[in-house]
Structure 1
């Protein structure tokens, strides 16, 4: 007499999807918590400042617009009305580098670039980076 045995039960595999979801949620909570600690909302950003300008390291010709609104072309103070005369002898193609204070309003730069004597001049903005004193 033959006895038929029931078929072997199929192996139940481990379901790792719940573990993966838990790990992902823990990572999300971790990054949310540490991101809030490292980047407080009320922190202030320190912008770069320029104290003294070493003219030998700056491109030429450079128009420096100071905090007080004075203009200097390659270290010489010029009147705003005489800008056309001052840049008249620039070599072709005419290129003028502009350095303004970082706290100056953008409208000052727009007004400067819209001047009629600068319409045929290529303008390039110059920025300086000052490392914090340690």
Structure 2
């Protein structure tokens, strides 16, 4: 017993519905991703101190000017001597850094072992505040 299948006539055609579905899915993904970025950007606001004059942050205040130029409570301190200069209690450390500073510098400071278990509060200066 032999089974004969009918022969194909003409070329096989691709259903145009597949292309429409692909385009619709791509548009959905595009709007999901682009809408999410706008939502995140609109929620991001940089902190800025409006009532704290320069130099009046509560102690201990660590001011980071550059990678090797640090000031702790108004006195210059070398980064490698920070552990000895910090008070022994668990008071929060007020970290003052320029809001335009490189984020890598801030991450380096926050990753230091002497600051690992201490509470940190970021403080910024009001625009145009004098030293």
TM-score interval for Structure 1 and Structure 2 normalised by the shorter chain: 0.5 to 0.7
5 Å-filtered alignment, 1:107-122, equals 107-122=104-119
Q: CA RMSD in A?
A: 2.3
**Alignment CA distance shift 1:73-1:131 (3 Å):** closer
Structure 2 residue 120 is the aligned partner of structure 1 residue 123: yes
How many residue pairs get matched? 78
| Bigger CA radius of gyration | 1
Q: Which residue of 2 aligns with 1:72?
A: 71
Larger RCO, structures 1/2 (Cα 8 Å, 6+ apart): 2
Deviations 1:19-65 (A, max 9, x none): xxxxxxxxxxxxxxxxxxxxxxxxxxxxx8xxxx742x222110011
Q: Which residue of 1 aligns with 2:100?
A: 103
TM-score, with structure 2 as normaliser = 0.52
5 Å-filtered alignment, 1:1-134, equals 54-55=54-55, 57-67=56-66, 69-87=68-86, 89-91=87-89, 93-130=90-127
Runs of 4+ displaced beyond 6 Å:
none
TM-score, with structure 1 as normaliser = 0.51
SS in 1 for 2:127: coil
Q: What 5-or-longer segments of structure 1 have no aligned partner?
A: 1-47
